[in-house]
């Protein structure tokens, strides 16, 4: 099989050669346990410190506010459960949104079983949270607001600075899942008044299974893993040294090339979206223009199933997704598309194509053409389409 056309960068990315190159010596030459005393280990300890500095710099945090984790889901879970249980004496109310990643939503459901109350804020048709509604939802009992920086399905970028300012004025902790935003949107945790922020390496050309939680100095949070003194005793266990090194390099590259990277992606994204919207009875999900992630497109095609589109595209060598990688395989439509007001039958026919570093204009052209053919072929077999042609809108 020839090399597939990869348009699922929001699910994961390849590891950049420059990232891999920095990682390799930490599997082989410098394998010492960072906690040991001899000089072999000093190299690994130094490497972790350097990576911590790089990650901190990428979001304008202090190095001692960065805690490495096993990825984005772990950082999300830690932020929610850690803050909830450590601040239970202050209140038991948490505010989040209906369009969060499952790492947030399922952690909230778990907390609800343990005596916490969770408000799931609605969003408008573009996926934006209303500041007014957020302000109204905050009570004396609220301890934490968790609102994602940018959405993984429809690319909506929230007004994080305003949300941060509001939370600060209400003296409520503010966590944001910035897994999709990192490397795509400038992040400054100080200026944006962010107390906790989740990151993952594998969405920015780093290795899978590595991420971090930024915890602002002074935030009360329970330790995640009890054991040794790693991560200042907050997350015990011998560090994933090579992964951490790769993450540090990935953040450095992502942040230094951000403008060039996102301008390139926006041009390709807009070409893709415009091409796909020429297909009859299609619509764009999520915002158009500036508050959309540079590499994200999400389109609905009426009268067909998203899963069927994906299978046919796969047979043509195109890797795409119908929403979040975690929900495909289930028959429920995406919770994000339902939250922006799409009816079930339309939400089922959605296609997410997310672009990245290796995407070319030729690939975009090929994908537009292929999706057009696939949609036509599926509609030709669809009784819904047949009824629609005979009887029009019911």
Spatial neighbors of 210 by CB under 8 A, at least 6 apart, are 68, 69, 70, 71, 200, 201, 202, 240, 243, 244, 246, 247
Strand partners, 284: 299
Residue 117 to residue 358: CA distance in whole angstroms = 44
Spatial neighbors of 29 by CB under 8 A, at least 6 apart, are none
Q: Is 300 annotated as a binding residue?
A: no
Q: Which stretch binds ligand PLP (CB under 6 A): 174-182, 218-226, 305-313, 376-384?
A: 174-182
Going by C-alpha positions, the residue among 145, 129, 148, 156 that lies closest to residue 289 is 156
Q: Is 376 annotated as a binding residue?
A: no
What is the footprint of ligand PLP within residues 176-235 (CB under 6 A)? 177, 179-180, 200, 202-203, 211
82 binds ligand PLP (CB under 6 A): no
72 binds ligand PLP (CB under 6 A): yes
* Shortest distance, position 327 Cβ to ligand PLP, whole Å: 12
Q: Which of 56, 66, 83, 103 binds ligand PLP (CB under 6 A)?
A: 103
DSSP 94: E
Instruction: Classify 286 in phi/psi space as left (phi over 0), alpha (psi -120 to 50) or beta.
Output: left
What is the footprint of ligand PLP within residues 138-167 (CB under 6 A)? 148, 152
Cα–Cα distances (Å) from 331 to 334, 345, 378, in that order, read 9, 11, 18
* Shortest distance, position 74 Cβ to ligand PLP, whole Å: 6
CB closer to ligand PLP, 152 vs 359: 152
Token output for 135: 């302000």
DSSP 302: T
Q: How many residues bind ligand PLP (CB under 6 A)?
A: 15
* Shortest distance, position 180 Cβ to ligand PLP, whole Å: 5
CB closer to ligand PLP, 73 vs 119: 73
Q: Which of 101, 249, 302, 352 binds ligand PLP (CB under 6 A)?
A: 101
The catalytic residues are: 326
CB closer to ligand PLP, 177 vs 239: 177
254 binds ligand PLP (CB under 6 A): no
CB closer to ligand PLP, 74 vs 305: 74
CB closer to ligand PLP, 32 vs 207: 207
286 binds ligand PLP (CB under 6 A): no
15 binds ligand PLP (CB under 6 A): no
DSSP string covering 190-226: TTTT-SEEEEEGGGTTS-TT-EEEEE-TT-----SB-
243 binds ligand PLP (CB under 6 A): no
* Shortest distance, position 54 Cβ to ligand PLP, whole Å: 18
CB closer to ligand PLP, 204 vs 273: 204
Residue 128 to residue 159: CA distance in whole angstroms = 8
| Cβ atoms of residues 10 and 72 within 8 Å | no
69 binds ligand PLP (CB under 6 A): no
Strand partners, 295: none
CA 382 to chain CA mean position, Å = 34
Residue least distant from ligand PLP (Cβ)? 72
Binding site for ligand PLP (CB under 6 A): 71-73, 76, 101, 103, 148, 152, 177, 179-180, 200, 202-203, 211
């Amino acid at each position: 099989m020839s090399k597939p056309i990869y348009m699922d960068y929001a699910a994961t990315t390849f590891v950049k050669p420059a990232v891999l190159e920095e990682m390799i010596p930490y599997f082989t030459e410098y394998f010492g346990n960072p906690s040991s005393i001899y000089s072999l280990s000093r190299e690994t300890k130094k490497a972790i410190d350097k990576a911590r500095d790089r990650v901190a710099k990428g979001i304008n945090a202090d190095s001692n506010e960065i805690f490495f984790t096993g990825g984005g889901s772990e950082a999300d879970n830690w932020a929610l459960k850690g803050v909830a249980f450590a601040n239970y004496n202050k209140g038991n109310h948490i505010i989040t949104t209906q369009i969060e990643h499952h790492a947030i939503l399922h952690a909230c459901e778990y907390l609800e079983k343990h005596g916490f109350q969770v408000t799931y804020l609605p969003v408008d048709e573009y996926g934006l949270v209303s500041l007014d509604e957020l302000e109204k939802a905050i009570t004396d009992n609220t301890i934490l607001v968790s609102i994602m920086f940018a959405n993984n399905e429809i690319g909506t970028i929230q007004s994080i600075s305003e949300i941060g300012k509001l939370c600060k004025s209400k003296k409520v902790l503010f966590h944001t899942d910035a897994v999709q935003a990192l490397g795509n949107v400038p992040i400054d945790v100080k200026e944006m008044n962010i107390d906790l922020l989740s990151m993952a390496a594998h969405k920015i050309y780093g290795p899978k299974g590595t991420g971090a939680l930024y915890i602002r100095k002074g935030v009360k949070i329970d330790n995640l893993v009890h054991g040794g003194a790693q991560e200042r005793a907050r997350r015990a266990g011998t560090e994933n040294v090579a992964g951490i090194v790769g993450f540090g390099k990935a953040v450095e590259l992502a942040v230094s090339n951000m403008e060039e990277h996102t301008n390139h992606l926006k041009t390709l994204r807009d070409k893709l979206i415009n091409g796909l919207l020429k297909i009859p009875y299609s619509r764009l999900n999520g915002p158009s223009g500036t508050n959309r992630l540079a590499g994200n497109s999400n389109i609905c095609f009426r009268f067909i199933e998203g899963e069927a589109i994906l299978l046919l595209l796969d047979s043509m060598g195109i890797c795409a997704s119908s929403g979040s990688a975690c929900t495909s395989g289930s028959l429920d439509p995406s919770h994000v598309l339902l939250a922006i007001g799409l009816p079930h039958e339309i939400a089922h026919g959605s296609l997410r194509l997310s672009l990245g570093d290796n995407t070319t204009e030729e690939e975009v052209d090929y994908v537009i053409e292929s999706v057009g053919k696939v949609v036509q072929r599926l509609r030709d077999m669809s009784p819904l389409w047949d009824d629609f042609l005979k009887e029009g809108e019911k």
